[in-house]
Structure 1
Amino acid sequence: MKTAALLVNLGSPDSTEVKDVKKYLDEFLMDKRVIDYPFLFRALLVRGIILNTRPKKSAEAYKSIWWDEGSPLIVLTKRLQKKVQNGTSLPVEIAMRYGNPSIASSLKKLMERNSDLKKVYVLPLYPHYAMSSFETVVEKVKEEAAVICPGVELDFQDPFYNDEDYINILAESIRPSLQEPFNKVLFSYHGVPERHILKGDVTGCHCLKTENCCSTPSPAHAQCYRHQCFETTRLVAEKLGLTTDQYSVSFQSRLGRDPWLTPFTDATLEEYGKSGMEKLIVVCPAFVSDCLETLEEIQVEGAEEFIAAGGKSIDVVDCLNDRDDWSALLSKWIEERA
């Protein structure tokens, strides 16, 4: 085969041991596209402060959601790979931006499996563009490929936040939760610092600077995470027939004291709980695979916050994981790029 596919997800520690969590967090947080400070300041913050306090707490969180087979994100991505491989004749490997299997090891495996390899179709498993997710995968693959397979063409899948097939599948994953009466659907996306949005604004004068910036057409939207999150939400809501008062958007997982995208998910869950909601549905479209942020932060901590504040029932929709329609769509995209 002259073409192969590489599915790239976020990653996970090798185990729930503190040393492995610390190693993972170091690789993740020292990424200049995640914490975009100068190296010395980033090193002081991460290695001087965060890695001396956070790994133990994070290890406990991972333990609470760890499966017998290992990290849920890794297990689910391997299951997805198997289904995608069954749907295409092209070789398919998976890699993690942080942790294992690494991008370098997976590129080497593709080269070993295909001596005549000419092109690798790379699918970052992120629906939306963000420098701390999609962009860092693209740049890391380019960096590793320049050493491992310099003559091989790299073909990257664009963010698919508004792809019609993806929107249909995401909507169908939510639809069963709507069969019984509910108060609201909360679309909770991973948060990013506002400065990331400003850095990605190719116009330099649109994002967070003009009224209704996310709904006003602009070239900035091609790299605007906030716009793309709102657009995914709008399209899915239309597909499901939701009225504007039946859904809302929030952002989770903030880190540090700098301004991050609002409203925050934890504050929103508390607010909805205090209102005495009978049933809240939560979906996390920034993730295609269930992971710490969905299984622990939302299904455990988020649910506890909502109930403790007075909410009655919360239904957290599974990520797409290895759904048959989702894996079939990825196989279709791979075949089309062959």
Structure 2
Amino acid sequence: MGATTGVLLVNLGTPDSPAVGDVRPYLSQFLNDPRVIDIPWLSRKVLVNLVIVPFRAPKSSAIYKKLWTDKGSPLLYHSENAGKLLQQSLGPDFGVHLAMRYKNPSVPDVLEEMRKRNYKTIVVLPMFPQYASASTGSAVQEVMDVISKWWVIPQIKVVSQYYDHPLFIDAFVQRARQYDISSYDHILFSYHGLPKRQVDKVHLSGVCKDNCMHEVNEENKFCYRATCYATTRLLAGQLGISSDRYTVCFQSRLDEKWLQPFSDKVVEECAKKGMKKILVFSPAFTADCLETVIEIGDEYQHLFKENGGDKVQLVESLNDHPTWIKCLEDLVRTA
């Protein structure tokens, strides 16, 4: 008897190669997603297709060339490896599949393979710890759009977020303990940025309030800012880092209307205050990628040194850490 439960891991995505010809369609698919750039259709098409992609593709291609390894895209091969290890942990009653929200392996192609397996249940597990419409919401919508066209729709279970799962926190804690945290002048918890308007939309009042930086409650339980701060409190608590020794910040912004403080500005300020060593977590990512390896490990390192600092140390993402695989297994089994 074959597997009865299919598991669909979904990560963000990656170009097929760092060549401009592959980066361009990746950026186009990504940025034309209305959950990513949530402005009117025509405005988005003009902005993305006539302004952002033509000018950004060559620059992004150069950055992806720095990121690429002999094994290809780190985001893809780390995610693939996690999927293989999860399959081993779950055993023959489960079938684990990996898709990328943008480009390959595509959600429609992977779901077609899963449809042919005729699973009784499918567990959809986006690999984003904190819910955001632009990440988890987009992945789930794409999956549901495809499955809704099937003649037979099996039982579907969705894991929407797991920022506070004890094994998720413990996996990052174990990653961090390879460093002497007390030797760093400051610690940054840097999360991927979002337009503030997208965070505001989560709230019935239409405004993300300052209490989101201090607590998660029934109103803000799906607020990205609230869960990022909650993730930080959990990690800092486990690692014994006092609140005066760390800063929560947000990276990869497109304009000034995104969540603040901005990570690059915090890095610059730390250097100008005379700090020489900073340690940076990026707990919105479960696999190392452009935003961790290049943006933090390379670009922030240069920025820090330019302003008088010495070393920006990135705490690696979870990748295929054994505790992370246990976390994924528990999320699947308890979905």
Using the size of structure 1 for normalisation, the TM-score is 0.94
**Deviation of the 1:182 alpha carbon:** 1.4
Residue 26 of structure 2 is matched in structure 1 by 24
1:73-103 Cα distance to aligned partner (Å, 9 max, x none): 1011111111111101211000000010011
Provide the secondary structure at the position in 1 that maps to 2:13.
strand
Residue 241 of structure 2 is matched in structure 1 by 242
Residue 284 of structure 1 is matched in structure 2 by 282
**Deviation of the 1:237 alpha carbon:** 0.4
**Deviation of the 1:52 alpha carbon:** 1.5
Equivalent runs, 1:174-185 vs 2, <5 Å: 174-178=176-180, 181-185=183-187
> Is the Cα contact below 8 Å between 2:281 and 2:314 reproduced in 1?
yes
Q: CA–CA distance in 2 between the matches of 1:12 and 1:78?
A: 13
Identity of aligned residues (%): 38
1:175-202 Cα distance to aligned partner (Å, 9 max, x none): 221356111110000000110011111x
What RMSD, in angstroms, separates the aligned Cα atoms of the two structures? 1.5
Equivalent runs, 1:19-58 vs 2, <5 Å: 19-58=21-60
Q: CA–CA distance in 2 between the matches of 1:88 and 1:216?
A: 34
Q: Does 1:98 align with 2:102?
A: yes
Residue 138 of structure 1 is matched in structure 2 by 140
> Is the Cα contact below 8 Å between 1:120 and 1:154 reproduced in 2?
yes
> Is the Cα contact below 8 Å between 2:216 and 2:230 reproduced in 1?
no
**Deviation of the 1:55 alpha carbon:** 0.1
Residue 8 of structure 1 is matched in structure 2 by 10
Q: CA–CA distance in 1 between the matches of 2:276 and 2:37?
A: 39
Q: CA–CA distance in 2 between the matches of 1:195 and 1:227?
A: 14
Q: CA–CA distance in 1 between the matches of 2:108 and 2:32?
A: 18
Structure 1 regions of 5+ residues with no counterpart?
Answer: none
1:202-240 Cα distance to aligned partner (Å, 9 max, x none): x225513xx434325543312200000000000110011
Residue 326 of structure 1 is matched in structure 2 by 324
Provide the secondary structure at the position in 1 that maps to 2:194.
coil
Q: CA–CA distance in 2 between the matches of 1:295 and 1:146?
A: 37
Provide the secondary structure at the position in 1 that maps to 2:219.
helix
Q: Given the superposition, is the C-alpha separation of residues 219 and 334 from structure 1 closer, same or farther in structure 2, using an over 3 Å criterion?
A: closer
**Deviation of the 1:274 alpha carbon:** 1.4
Structure 2 regions of 5+ residues with no counterpart?
Answer: none
**Deviation of the 1:147 alpha carbon:** 2.0
Q: CA–CA distance in 1 between the matches of 2:198 and 2:218?
A: 16
Q: CA–CA distance in 2 between the matches of 1:142 and 1:292?
A: 28
Residue 316 of structure 1 is matched in structure 2 by 314
Q: CA–CA distance in 2 between the matches of 1:24 and 1:179?
A: 37
Equivalent runs, 1:239-318 vs 2, <5 Å: 239-257=238-256, 259-318=257-316
> Is the Cα contact below 8 Å between 1:275 and 1:311 reproduced in 2?
no
1:164 to 158, 163, 166: 166
Q: CA–CA distance in 2 between the matches of 1:297 and 1:283?
A: 12
Provide the secondary structure at the position in 2 that maps to 1:318.
coil
> Is the Cα contact below 8 Å between 2:24 and 2:57 reproduced in 1?
yes
Residue 227 of structure 2 is matched in structure 1 by 228
Q: CA–CA distance in 1 between the matches of 2:227 and 2:137?
A: 15
Corresponding letter in the other structure for 1:277: M
Corresponding letter in the other structure for 2:123: Y
**Deviation of the 1:307 alpha carbon:** 1.2
Q: CA–CA distance in 2 between the matches of 1:327 and 1:154?
A: 22
Using the size of structure 2 for normalisation, the TM-score is 0.95
Corresponding letter in the other structure for 2:294: E
User: Which moves more between the two structures, 92-101 or 175-184?
Assistant: 175-184
> Is the Cα contact below 8 Å between 2:167 and 2:326 reproduced in 1?
no
Corresponding letter in the other structure for 2:107: I
**Deviation of the 1:278 alpha carbon:** 2.5
Residue 219 of structure 1 is matched in structure 2 by 218
1:122-145 Cα distance to aligned partner (Å, 9 max, x none): 110000011111111111110011
Equivalent runs, 1:57-72 vs 2, <5 Å: 57-72=59-74
Q: CA–CA distance in 2 between the matches of 1:216 and 1:109?
A: 41
Q: CA–CA distance in 1 between the matches of 2:216 and 2:250?
A: 22
User: Which moves more between the two structures, 41-50 or 267-276?
Assistant: 267-276
Corresponding letter in the other structure for 2:269: E
